[in-house]
């Protein structure tokens, strides 16, 4: 079964500092990968997704992520964090090649706190 | 262009009662999935509907059931509510043959 691991439960960074959130997945084939952000009490907003092609993916709000097949990772990065980036971040995977398995599998999330 | 709409936004029910949550998908989407997100956890897949049929189901008991209507909107029903059913219920719509899931803001269900 596919799984997603986000090893960092909570990260605190200073405003203006760089950010990297880690995500590792376990799946036999090349998965489709997503990063979502969730503000308290809100739904999920898609930051970026990787389906194929260039392994460095650009998303909204200045975020990017790099797919590394050899490491089974899809880490999220931002060069300079803003106070408004404080939220919960979820990595997710789905395999569209398997018509019986098109549900998103989420990691447990990383809570980002931004210090002024 | 309206995104995914869920109703109600908040709901309080008593243990043993039944509840129905509703979801209108994003315009042009034909598939609706439901997720349960307990406090402090990632969303867990409940089931997915396409062409008015349940196509996939996660590890949830039969107390959880659903329906999809011809206009692609969907309902999630939970019978015999337990305290542990308290969670944020998220609806996501998509096109079956492509990626890109759009989530609603969710329904916060509290069982007392």
What is the helix (H) or strand (E) element at residue B57, kind and residue range? strand B53-57
Residue of A nearest to B96 (CA): A102
The answer to whether A45 contacts B45, with C-beta atoms less than 8 Å apart, is no
Residue of B nearest to A89 (CA): B42
Full DSSP string of A34-91: EEEEE-TT---EEEEEE-SS-SEEE-GGG-EEEEEGGGTEEEEEESS--GGG-EEEEE
Q: What's residue A28's pLDDT?
A: 65
User: What CATH fold (topology level) applies to the domain A3-115?
Assistant: Immunoglobulin-like (2.60.40)
Q: Which of B82, B85, B89, B84 is nearest to B104 (CA)?
A: B89
pLDDT per position as a tens digit, B47-66: 999 999 998 899 999 999 99
CA distance B58 to chain A (A): 9
Predicted confidence band of residue B1 (pLDDT cuts 50, 70, 90): low
The residue among A40, A50, A102 with the most chain B CBs within 10 A of its CB, best to mutate, is: A102
Radius of gyration in angstroms for the set of CA atoms belonging to chain A, rounded to a whole number: 14
The answer to whether A90 contacts B102, with C-beta atoms less than 8 Å apart, is no
The residue among B3, B30, B42 with the most chain A CBs within 10 A of its CB, best to mutate, is: B42
Which residues in B lie closer than 8 A to residue A44 (C-beta atoms)? 43, 90, 92, 103
C-alpha span between A42 and A50 (Å, rounded): 24
Residue A100 has pLDDT above 70, yes or no: no
Residue of A nearest to B101 (CA): A46
Q: Does B58 touch chain A (CB under 8 A)?
A: yes
Give the mean pLDDT of B7-36.
96
Give the mean pLDDT of A31-39.
93
Name the more confident of A54 and A10: A10
Residue A92 has pLDDT above 60, yes or no: yes
Other beta carbons within 10 angstroms of residue A23's beta carbon come to 26
| Helix (DSSP H) and strand (DSSP E) numbers for chain B | 0, 11
Domain boundaries, chain A: 3-115
Which residues in A lie closer than 8 A to residue B35 (C-beta atoms)? 104
Is residue A91 within 8 Å of A34, Cβ to Cβ?
yes
Is residue A77 within 8 Å of A65, Cβ to Cβ?
yes
Give the mean pLDDT of B12-41.
95
Which residues in A lie closer than 8 A to residue B43 (C-beta atoms)? 44, 90, 104, 106
Q: Does B100 touch chain A (CB under 8 A)?
A: yes
Residue A99 has pLDDT above 90, yes or no: no
Give the mean pLDDT of A108-113.
97
Q: Does B35 touch chain A (CB under 8 A)?
A: yes
Q: What's residue B83's pLDDT?
A: 98
Domain spanning B5-111: CATH 2.60.40.10: yes
């Amino acid at each position: 079964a596919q799984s997603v691991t986000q090893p960092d439960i909570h990260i605190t960074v200073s405003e203006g500092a760089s950010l990297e959130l880690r995500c590792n997945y376990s799946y036999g084939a090349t998965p489709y990968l997503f990063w979502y952000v969730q503000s308290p009490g809100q739904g999920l907003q898609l930051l970026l997704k990787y389906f194929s092609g260039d392994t460095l993916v650009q998303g909204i709000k200045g975020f990017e992520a790099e797919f590394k097949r050899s490491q089974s990772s899809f880490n999220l990065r931002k060069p300079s964090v803003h106070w408004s980036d404080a939220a919960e971040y979820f990595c997710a995977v789905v395999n569209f090649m398997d018509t019986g398995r098109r549900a998103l599998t989420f990691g447990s999330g990383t809570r980002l706190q931004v210090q002024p | 262009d309206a995104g995914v709409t869920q109703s109600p936004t908040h709901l309080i029910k008593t243990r043993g009662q039944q509840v129905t949550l509703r979801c209108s998908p994003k315009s042009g989407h034909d598939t609706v999935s439901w997720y349960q997100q307990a406090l402090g956890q990632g969303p867990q897949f409940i089931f997915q509907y396409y062409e008015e049929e349940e196509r996939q189901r996660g590890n949830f008991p039969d107390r959880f059931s659903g329906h999809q209507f011809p206009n692609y909107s969907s309902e999630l029903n939970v019978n015999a509510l337990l305290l542990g059913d308290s969670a944020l219920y998220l609806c996501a719509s998509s096109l079956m043959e492509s990626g890109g899931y759009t989530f609603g803001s969710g329904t916060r269900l509290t069982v007392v």
